[in-house]
Amino acid sequence: MSTAMNFGSKSFKPRPPDKGAFPLDHFGECSAFKERFMECLRDSGYESGACRQRAMAYLECRMERQVQLMANEPLEKLGFKDLIDEKSEAKPDK
């Protein structure tokens, strides 16, 4: 048996999760947004497409208030381009 266990040769450096994994909101800064989203899911029979506006608001809250947990990312890249286009079309021109 010449199996050497050299645990010091490799070092593991943890890194934040990629998109789609969100750390807990320990201070409850965005809990109101989360609750509105969850209520919408329950009311719609868990049809997530019906609650995209609320999902977008929740993610905006996380990006604005919890910068150390979720980096700012354009909402278009997170799948909300059509909702953003609707908002801009609904605004009257000055």
Q: What is the pLDDT of residues 59-92, one digit of tens each?
A: 899 888 876 667 788 888 888 888 887 766 766 6
The sign one gets for the Cα dihedral 89, 38, 58, 80 is negative
List of E strands, the chain: none
* 75 domain residue, yes or no: yes
* 18 domain residue, yes or no: no
Helix, strand, coil percentages for the chain (3-state, nearest 5): 50, 0, 50
More confidently predicted of 31 and 7: 31
Whole-number Å distance between alpha carbons of 90 and 49: 20
* 35 domain residue, yes or no: yes
* 43 domain residue, yes or no: yes
* 15 domain residue, yes or no: no
N-terminal to C-terminal alpha carbon distance within the chain? 80
Number of structural domains, the chain? 1
* 7 domain residue, yes or no: no
The residue count of the chain comes to 94
Question: Residue 57 sits in which domain range?
Answer: 30-87
pLDDT, the chain, mean: 79
* 1 domain residue, yes or no: no
**Structure-token pair, residue 21:** 């994994």
**Structure-token pair, residue 92:** 């009257």
